[in-house]
Amino acid sequence: MTEIGKIFNWVAKLKVLAVLAVLAMPMGAIAQGEAVAPLGYRAVDTGLVKYNHTQPRAAAKGTAISLPFFEDFTNTDFFPDTNKWIGRQVYINNNMAVNPISRGVATLDALGEDGLPYEKANKSVSRHCDSLTSQPIDLSSYTADDSVYFSFFYQPQGTGFDPQPNDSLMLYFRRSSSTSPWMRVWRVAGSALQPFRQVMIAVTDANFFNNEFQFRFVNKGSMNNTDDIWNIDYIRIGAGRNINDTTISDVAFTREPTQLLNDYTFMPYQQYMANAAGERAGQFESAIRNNNASAVNVNYGYTSREVFTNTPLSNGTGSVNIGGEAESGVSFPVYTNAVSQQAPNAAVTFENKFYLQATAETGSAENDTITGYQHFFNYLAYDDGTAEQSYFLNLFATLPGKIAIEHRLNVPDTLKGIAIYFGRQVPLAYQKYFSVVVYRDIAFGGGTDQVLYQEDFLVPSYLRQNSFWYYKFEQPVVLPAGKFYIGTIQPALSASDSLYFGLDVNRTANNHVYYNVLSEWKKSGLVGAVMMRPLFGNFFPSIVMGPVSKQAAQWDVTPNPATNKIRFNYNQQVGLARYSIIDVQGRTVMSGDVPGTDWLDIRDLEPGVYLVYFSTDGQNSTPRKIVKL
C-alpha cells in the first residue's frame, strides 16, 4: 500500500471511531448542515474585460461632460465606462441586482479593484471601501435658477449579503472650494434587501456650478462581510427638472433571457443532440420594464445563429402592452434547428439576440438589445459561470463532509476531470486537502454508495481566469448513459472543514445537490447551483492544477526562511520544471521556469508567508510553504 493509501486508511478508521463517539452524544451537541457565506473575492477575467475607450485604466480626468448626464450601466464591460467615470473599484454586472430598473448595475462592496478584500486579515473593522467617481461635468453655464436635479436608484443587498446598520452608502458632490472640495449631500444606512428606490437631489449650492463639478458614491463596509452589497442604477443629471420628475422615458429589458436548455446551462453538443427535445426548454423568457408614466405598446423580437458557421437558426416577433412604471414578462419560442458538429467535443455556440423595436424615448438605446450565447463545450453545468455567494458545510470536528451533485448523460462519454469554483476564505484554504469522487449512485432514496473513482490529497486554489480550478484525473472514467454524481470529500480530523465553494444563486439546481455530514445523505435545502462541473473530451487549460502525482518529482526549497534568494533542489533529469509563488491572498507574485542550479531572486517580495508550487513535465507536486524575511 502506498504512503497516501496508508494515510487514508488511517483516516477511514478514525471516521469509524468518530461515528461511534457521535452516536453516544446528544443530538443537540452536534452543529452540522449546510450554510452560505460571502464569496470573499471577485475574480477579474482580464481576457474578457474591454477597456473600451482610450484610457486603459480610467485613471485620469477627461474632457468635461455636458448636461444632460445619463448612465444605466448597460453598455459597459465589467468596469465603468472611462468616458464617464474615473477609477474601477466598482463592478458592472447583470447578476448582483434583484428586479433592476434595467439590465446592468454598478455594485459597491468591500472588495477592491483586485477583487480582494480591502482588509486582508483584520475582519473586525469597518472602513470606507469602493468609490464611483464621475469625470468632470461642466455646470459653469448653470445657476440654481435652472433647476438642476441629480437622481439615481439604489438597492441594498441584491443577490449578495445585506449591509449592516453601521454600514452606509454615501454621495458626495465636488465644489470649487480648495480647502474641502468634497461635500457629502446624501447618506443611507445599511439594511436588508429592498426594491430599488429613487433619490432626487436639487443642485443649489453656487459652489457646484463650475466647469469641474464631479460626484462620487462611496460605501462604508464591514470587513467581516465582504459582500455588503449596494447596487446603483439610472443616474441622471439635467436642468429644468423638479422634485416630481421621477419618471424616465425609457423602455428596457430588466432580466437576462433564460437559456435554451431546460435543466443544464451548458453541456456537450453530442449530449444535447442525443436528446435535443428533452434538453430544450419550452421557451425563452425575459422581462421588459416601461419606465414611462403612461402605458406603452412594445414590439419585440429575436434572431439566432450558430456563431462559427454563421448559420441562421430562427427569428420571431411579438408585442405587449405595458402599463406605466410597470414590468411585463415576455417569452420567445425556442427553435429546434441544429447544425453539424465539426468533431467530437468541438465547441458549438448559438447566438441569441433579443431586441425591442424603436420606441420614442430619451433613455439608453443600448438596453433595448440583449445578446446571449448558448455554449456547447466539454462540460456539464447547472451554473451560469458567476458566483454570488459561497456554499459550505457545517461539520462536526471528527466527521468527514461529503457533497455529491447529480448529472446525467444521454449517450456514453469519458469523464476526464472536474472544474471547481472555490469561495475565498480567511485564512486561505491552501492547506486543506480534499478528495474528488465519482459515484454511480449514492445511498439516498433507496440507493447505495457506488464509488466509481476517487482521487485524494487535492488542494484548492483561487483567482484563476474565469474562477474555476481544473483537476484532471489520472485515469479517465468511462461512463454509460444515465445518472452519475461528482463531488468532494473533506476528510475528518484534517482541518478541511468549511471548504468554500462558489454558489450561483441566480440558478435553481439544489434538486441535484446532496450533502452528508453525519453518515447520511440529505438533499440540499439552499437555493442555487454549487459550482462544480464534470469535464469531458480533450480540452483543458494550458495550466492544470490537478492531483498530486504519486510519481511527482521530489524537491525542496532552501534556505527557508529566506531573505533575498532561494534555490530549488530536485533531480534535473526529470524534465522541464516550472514554479509559481502564491501569496496569502491567492495572487501569483512570481512564476516561470525553474532556474536549474542558479538562485532565484526574491528580494522584491514583501516579508510574509508564501506557497511555492512546483511541477515537472506537467506533473504537480505537493506545494511547499516558505517564509520571506
pLDDT at 396: 81
**In terms of pLDDT, which residue wins out, 92 or 397?**
92
Strand, helix or coil for residue 52: coil
Same domain, 367 and 473: no
Give me the mean pLDDT over the 206-216 stretch. Answer: 95
Closest CA to 211 of 143, 136, 138, 148: 138
pLDDT at 24: 35
Residue 288 lies in a domain: yes
Using the predicted structure, report yes or no on whether residue 433 has a pLDDT greater than 70: yes
| CB-based contacts of 177-184 (< 8 A; 24+ apart in sequence) | 177/207, 182/216
pLDDT at 132: 96
pLDDT at 14: 35
Please enumerate in sequence order all residues whose Cβ is within 8 A of that of 392, keeping only pairs 6 or more positions apart, or say none: 34, 35, 36, 37, 423, 498, 499, 500, 501
331: which 3 cell numbers? 417569452
pLDDT (tens digit per residue) in 232-249: 999 999 999 999 999 888
Residue 349 lies in a domain: yes
pLDDT (tens digit per residue) in 356-379: 986 655 556 677 888 888 999 899
Same domain, 119 and 241: yes
Residue 475 lies in a domain: yes
Same domain, 501 and 421: yes
Same domain, 238 and 266: no
φ/ψ of 215, rounded to 5, equals -130, 155
Residue 332 lies in a domain: yes
Winning range, highest mean pLDDT, from 73-87, 364-378, 517-531, 569-583: 517-531
* pTM check: above 0.85: no
Q: Residue 42: which region, alpha, beta or left (left: phi > 0; alpha: psi -120 to 50)? A: beta
Using the predicted structure, report yes or no on whether residue 272 has a pLDDT greater than 90: yes
Using the predicted structure, report yes or no on whether residue 57 has a pLDDT greater than 60: no
| pLDDT classification of 105: cutoffs 50, 70, 90 | very high
| pLDDT classification of 547: cutoffs 50, 70, 90 | very low
* Domains in the chain, number: 4
pLDDT at 61: 62
Give me the mean pLDDT over the 566-578 stretch. Answer: 79
CATH of the domain at 161: 2.60.120.260
pLDDT at 618: 62
pLDDT at 496: 53
Residue 125 lies in a domain: yes
pLDDT at 27: 32
Strand, helix or coil for residue 88: coil
Give me the mean pLDDT over the 504-509 stretch. Answer: 92
CATH of the domain at 464: 2.60.120
> End of a domain among 246, 267, 286?
246
Residue 544 lies in a domain: no
Summary mean pLDDT of the chain: 83
pLDDT (tens digit per residue) in 277-333: 999 999 999 999 998 889 999 999 999 999 888 899 998 888 999 999 899 999 888
- pLDDT above 90 covers what percent of the chain? 47
> End of a domain among 246, 263, 293?
246
Residue 170 lies in a domain: yes
Please enumerate in sequence order all residues whose Cβ is within 8 A of that of 343, keeping only pairs 6 or more positions apart, or say none: none
pLDDT at 48: 36
pLDDT at 88: 85
377: which 3 cell numbers? 463545450
pLDDT at 131: 95
pLDDT at 28: 33
Same domain, 320 and 196: no
Same domain, 219 and 304: no
pLDDT (tens digit per residue) in 455-486: 987 878 765 545 788 888 989 999 999 999 99
Using the predicted structure, report yes or no on whether residue 135 has a pLDDT greater than 90: yes
pLDDT at 200: 97
Same domain, 225 and 292: no
| pLDDT classification of 54: cutoffs 50, 70, 90 | very low
DSSP string, 509-575: -GGGEEEESSSSEEE--S-SEE-EEEEESS---SS---PBPTTPPPEEEESSSBSSEEEEEE-TTS-
Winning range, highest mean pLDDT, from 59-73, 482-496, 557-571: 557-571
543 within 8 A of 478, measured Cβ to Cβ: no
| pLDDT classification of 429: cutoffs 50, 70, 90 | low
Gap between the terminal Cα atoms of the chain: 40
Same domain, 111 and 172: yes
Same domain, 140 and 13: no
Residue 318 lies in a domain: yes
Same domain, 313 and 443: no
| pLDDT classification of 497: cutoffs 50, 70, 90 | low
452 within 8 A of 573, measured Cβ to Cβ: no
Same domain, 28 and 131: no
605: which 3 cell numbers? 517580495
Same domain, 422 and 360: no
pLDDT at 227: 74
Give residue 59's identity as a one-letter amino acid code. Answer: A
> End of a domain among 200, 219, 246?
246
| pLDDT classification of 546: cutoffs 50, 70, 90 | very low
Domain hosting residue 611, numbered range:
555-628
pLDDT at 530: 97
Closest CA to 499 of 40, 162, 116, 27: 40
φ/ψ of 19, rounded to 5, equals -60, -45
